[in-house]
Amino acid sequence: MEKKYLVVYTAGAFGNFLSWCIDCCLNKQVLESPFQETGNSHHRNQNTVITQCLDLVKSPNMEEYLEKKQKDFEIIGIHWGRKWFPYMLHAGWDRTNGGQFGKSGVAFAETNFHKFLEMHGEYDTADLLSKLKQHFNFDCSEGNPKVPRLVLRNLLWLNMASENQDIRTKTNKIIEKAGHSKIDLDTILDYDLLKEYLKRRFDVDLDFEHIHKEFRRKNNSLTEYNLAMKVIDAVKTKQNMLIPKMSVVGECIVLWHLEKHYFDINFFNMPFDFATTKDILDYVAHYPNYMKSPNRWYLTNWKDFPNNELR
């Protein structure tokens, strides 16, 4: 009997793309492109699908599920390092589901957050609407569907701050520690490493570099994550660069990392009006000394922020 494969992952971690790669190896040929408009790989040709995949967050008892499935499948789990959590947040909004948000789920959420939650199908809508009302005094409803950009970014900030309690983080740790086979996100993103992994694992040497380039190019979330980290690196090394227009998630990633880096300078609850990294450096250089103080979240949850992430 031909071995059956199951790829387990958290949403945004390329489970469908790795499954497509494995199907190529099992078919011994490069199959047609699986990408949708948002860059996810949910458009796999059902006539060539062999490998199953599952966002493990959707499984209520993950350890028990994995143990049960190992009897019938060779399981390969995709795990990721902590640095990727902001990317996962972006991907969870932008790339998920069946493409009902067009080219960008994040852009849709910026325009009509209430409808976004209705159409998403994977979020606890009541919880997010409750947080908007409880923490930011905003009642998001069908008649009031567009959340102000600053408020929406603050809601995302809460997700960033709750990384350790997030279901994606917990699921990722389960995948990383499980006894099944594993591959990390960085390997999938590097064509040469991925090609070598597949060759070693399936004894098939395929040239799919053109598909891999498309895979990276079409990934809005990866593009914006990389841009946000480039901005952060430029600030840390005191280099000046233009800051292109980013989505509300990209802005949140930048401000989140800046506040962790400077710690006693406030980047929270403010408009994102920085046109260049020099603007950010000027803001830091001339921030009033009498106003410097870590925000209350850091003071309360300081154990979540190792010293090597600050300054």
Q: Do both 152 and 261 map to the same domain?
A: no
The whole domain housing 187 covers 5-82+166-219
Task: Examine the domain organization and report whether 117 and 154 are in the same domain.
Answer: yes
Q: Are residues 144 and 249 in the same domain?
A: no
Do both 26 and 146 map to the same domain? no
Query: Are 70 and 196 found together in one domain?
Result: yes
Residue-wise pLDDT for 95-119, tens only, equals 766 667 888 889 999 999 999 998 8
Radius of gyration of the chain (CA): 21
Are residues 278 and 204 part of one domain? no
Same-domain check for residues 238 and 300 = yes
DSSP string, 193-207: HHHHHHHHHHS----
Domain count across the chain: 3
Same domain membership, residue 12 and residue 117: no
pLDDT surpasses 80 at 126:
no
Phi, psi of 136 (to 5 degrees): -125, 10
Give the DSSP letter of residue 276.
B
> Residues 224-271: pLDDT tens digits?
999 999 999 999 999 999 999 999 999 999 999 999 899 899 998 889
The alpha-helical segments, DSSP class H, found in the chain are 15-27, 62-69, 85-94, 105-111, 113-120, 125-136, 149-161, 167-177, 185-189, 191-202, 209-217, 220-236, 248-262, 277-285, 296-300
- Please report whether residue 207 resides in a domain: yes
Question: Please, are residues 229 and 237 in contact by the beta-carbon 8 Å criterion?
Answer: no
- Taking each helix axis from N to C end, the angle separating 15-27 and 191-202, rounded to the nearest 10 degrees, works out to 50
In a domain, 203, yes or no: yes
64 or 105: which leads in pLDDT: 105
For residues 12 and 103, what is the distance between their CA atoms, to the nearest angstrom? 15
Residue type, 162: S
Query: Do residue 215 and residue 241 come from a single domain?
Result: no
Q: What is the pTM of this model?
A: 0.88
Tokens of 228: 């946000």
For residues 59 and 173, state if they share a domain.
yes
